[in-house]
Amino acid sequence: MTVFLVIIVLALLAVTGWQISKIFELSKRPDADTSQVANDKDNKLNGILMLAFVIFIYVISIFCFWEYGRFYLPEAASEHGSEYDTLMFVSIALIMVVQVITQGLLHFFAYKYKGEKTKKALFYADNDKLEFIWTIIPVIVLAGLIIYGLFTWSDIMNVNTEEDPMVVEVYAYQFAWRARYAGEDNTLGKANVRFIEGVNQLGVDESDSYGKDDKIVTELHLPVNKPVLFKFRSQDVLHSAYFPFFRAQMNVVPGMITQFSFTPTITSEEMRQSEYMVDKVKSVNEVRNERNQELAAQGEPTLDSYEFDYFLLCNKICGQAHYNMQMKIVVESEEDFNAWLEEQPTFGSVMADQNKDAGQTEDKGGSEDPASKEEGEDSTNEQSQESEAVAVVENNN
Ligand SMILES: [Cu+2]
């Protein structure tokens, strides 16, 4: 009903506008210039507007750089990050220089050579030399940028297995992340979403011995200066694992395993103490303090003060609570990392606990459901299908 009323109001407004324009038309003085051809006055106005437009664009660009420059990410916290940032900087710098020159000239000439009664346009058919110059320069520049980009890309994407990276699975589902460490053997156990049951949230295959020492956690810890190979898996829809501080992002696709490798170089603590982060945290907390005063006045609970932590975000709009899909990342020294990992329970022990609990309830009179057994057999087929898909993906890499 509201929509219908809005449509009627808009239609009536349009009719009113049309009627008013007719009134203006009729109320014009009979000697007014009604010609559709632009005169000197029109051309001058258009020339000035063209010039004003380009000045406006430049002023607003400078203002944005100055005002919003503080929202740039800090120095990259991964080994490949500086390569990525340099590529980005070179591309943007080139684009900016070329755009300032070409757009400046375009708008200035529109003003300078505006139409005038006394001026006559020069007839100029073509000039091979000029055309050659403005074709060959962009070709060389663009080819250079593309080749530079390709080299950087292959540098970043090719996993160096000689460095023996630590294998970690990053698992996405609506709407959270889990990480699975490969354990002592540095090999992840096979997994399939069809094995998901009870505490086995990630669907790790219980029959695969590689999975027994895997550790599933809700917080991603990484040892500093050690290469990590991430294997991404999704339970439901397409997600995207975005590590802004490490300049890394990878699609997380249901039914296949994607991968990305990087080496963190700055610990969480070092990043917290950097000048950039100290300023940032201070300004966030100033905003929070202001808000807290309002909240306290209304008698509502106040916000905690902010402390920086690295995080992993989802960068694909994957559903209603997509915005909430993040996981804390802690980069720390190898000793701290090992101590933390030591405390985490293995998948084998978690499953043993669950089976023990289940055994106790079954003793009290539980019986096996034949339907669930059938489903179990079915899932083995699916599992082998997924394994094949995974093998294909790995071969391609
Ligand atoms: Cu998501």
Measured in Å, residue 120 CA sits from the centre of ligand 1 at 62
55 within some domain? no
Whole-number Cα distances in Å, 125 to 93, 100, 131: 34, 28, 12
Question: What pLDDT shows up at residue 350?
Answer: 80
Question: What is the reported pLDDT for 379?
Answer: 41
Distance from residue 310's CA to the centre of ligand 1 (Å): 18
How far is ligand 1, taken at its centre, from the CA of residue 194, in Å? Answer: 20
Q: Are 300 and 152 in contact (CB under 8 A)?
A: no
Q: How far is 355 from 201, CA to CA, in rounded Å?
A: 15
Instruction: Say how many Å lie between the CA of residue 228 and the centre of ligand 1.
Output: 22
- Rounded to the nearest angstrom, the distance between the alpha carbon of 172 and the centre of ligand 1 is 7
Q: Report if residue 117 sits inside a domain.
A: no
The whole-number pLDDT of residue 361 equals 62
Has residue 326 been placed in a domain? yes
Q: Output the pLDDT for position 237.
A: 92
Q: At 238, which CATH number?
A: 2.60.40.420
Measure 233 CA to ligand 1 centroid, in angstroms: 12
- Ranges of beta strands (E only) in 52-206 are 166-173, 176-181
Domain membership of residue 174 (yes or no) is yes
Distance in Å, CA 380 to ligand 1 centroid? 27
Looking only at the bridges linking them, the beta strands covering 176-181 and 166-173 are: antiparallel
pLDDT of 391 reads: 41
**Cis ω before 175 (30° cut-off from 0):** yes
Distance of alpha carbon 202 from alpha carbon 208, whole angstroms: 14
| Domain of 211, in residue numbers | 165-346+380-397
Q: What pLDDT is stored for residue 362 in this prediction?
A: 56
Q: What pLDDT is recorded for position 331? A: 94
pTM, two decimal places: 0.72
Asked whether residue 212 is domain-assigned, the answer is: yes
Q: Mean pLDDT per segment of 10 residues, for the chain of length 397 residues?
A: 91 95 83 77 92 94 89 89 91 92 93 87 89 94 93 86 87 91 84 80 80 87 92 92 93 92 92 91 91 88 88 92 92 92 84 74 49 40 42 40
CA 165 to ligand 1 centroid distance, Å: 26
The pLDDT of residue 24:
86
Instruction: Determine the distance separating the centroid of ligand 1 and the alpha carbon of 319, expressed in angstroms.
Output: 7
CA of 226 to the centre of ligand 1 (A): 27
Produce one character per residue of 211-244: b if its CB has 16 or more CB atoms within 10 Å, e if not. bbbbbbbeebbbbbeebbbbbbbbbebebbbbbb
CA of 178 to the centre of ligand 1 (A): 12
What confidence score (pLDDT) does residue 386 get? 44
Give the distance (Å) from ligand 1 centre to CA of residue 378: 28
Is position 338 within any domain?
yes
The total domain count for the chain is: 1
Cα 323 to middle of ligand 1, angstroms? 8
Q: Is residue 389 part of a domain?
A: yes
Is position 142 within any domain? no
